[in-house]
């Protein structure tokens, strides 16, 4: 009974947040930002332990895998375009992945985070399932990594469209790669609002970034941690 109740509650709050965001289009009303806040308030109001909610809402979290796999559909539909720009995609995402890791490390050192936080924040710029694996491999804390991934996605999803507007990006390739690399799953969701090609390139950026960061997990990241 609790499983049905909390899953329905989460869905209802998400739909409510999405309706508010569509009506007012205010960045702080983004569904992935507003929904967790509403859930926290609700849990606090009725005095439910967070672990009880998490256990009951597991069916929703299990949908993350199938949802990620479903991104393969637009890739298949635009395969010819992807082949044409494959080298550009690989170079752009590789550079973006390196910058993501290095900027995470430098920012962590600048604000004097402890070592556990630094290691856990390094794989923040990829989708959650892969980020957790990388975090475990390099000795980070998967729970912290998940939080950083979510924050990265939400912030990237909110400011991404403004960055695209400020830099006058008009190409579907540039829009998609920027959103996918900068905000992974959330960015891809936002890219779908621009168009199918943007969503395709965003999906590919998210997938390739995950693969590349897996490589960094056994090479670049341990080097940074050891000699940084």
Domain ranges of the chain: 2-62, 72-227
Quote the pTM value.
0.80
Separation between Cα atoms, residue 222 and residue 227, nearest integer Å: 8
Q: Is the predicted pLDDT of residue 177 greater than 90, yes or no? A: yes
Mean pLDDT is lowest, of 132-136, 200-204, 221-225, for 221-225
| Largest distance between two CA atoms of the chain | 55
Mean pLDDT of 78-84: 83
Percentage above 90 pLDDT, the chain = 10
Mean pLDDT of 89-95: 91
Between CA 190 and CA 195, with CA 194 as vertex, the angle to 5 degrees is: 110
**pLDDT-derived band at 178, boundaries 50, 70, 90:** very high
Mean of the per-residue pLDDT values of the chain: 84
112 CB-contact burial (10 Å; exposed 0-12 / middle 13-18 / buried 19+): exposed
Q: Is the predicted pLDDT of residue 129 greater than 90, yes or no? A: no
pLDDT in tens, 26-58: 777 888 788 888 988 988 888 888 788 888 888
Q: Is the predicted pLDDT of residue 224 greater than 70, yes or no? A: no
68 vs 17, which has greater pLDDT? 17
Separation between Cα atoms, residue 198 and residue 192, nearest integer Å: 7
What pLDDT score was predicted for residue 166? Answer: 92
Other CB atoms closer than 10 Å to residue 214's CB: what's the count? 17
């Amino acid at each position: 009974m609790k499983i049905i109740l909390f899953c329905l509650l989460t869905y209802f709050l998400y739909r409510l947040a999405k309706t508010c965001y569509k009506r007012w289009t205010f960045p702080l009303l983004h569904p992935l930002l507003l929904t967790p806040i509403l859930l926290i308030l609700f849990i606090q109001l009725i005095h439910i332990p967070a672990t009880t909610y998490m256990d009951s809402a597991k069916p929703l979290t299990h949908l993350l895998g199938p949802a990620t796999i479903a991104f393969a559909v637009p890739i298949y539909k635009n395969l010819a375009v992807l082949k044409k720009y494959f080298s550009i995609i690989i170079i752009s995402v590789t550079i973006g992945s390196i910058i993501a890791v290095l900027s995470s490390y430098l920012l962590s050192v600048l604000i004097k985070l402890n070592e556990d936080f630094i290691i856990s924040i390094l794989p923040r710029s990829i989708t959650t399932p892969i980020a957790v694996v990388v975090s475990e491999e390099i000795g980070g804390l998967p729970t912290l990594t998940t939080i950083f991934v979510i924050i990265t996605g939400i912030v990237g999803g909110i400011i991404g469209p403004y960055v695209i507007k400020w830099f006058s990006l008009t190409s579907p390739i540039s829009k998609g790669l920027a959103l996918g690399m900068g905000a992974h799953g959330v960015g891809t969701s936002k890219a779908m609002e621009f168009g199918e090609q943007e969503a395709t390139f965003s999906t590919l950026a998210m997938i390739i970034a995950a693969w590349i960061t897996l490589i960094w997990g056994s090479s670049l990241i341990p080097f940074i941690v050891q000699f940084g």
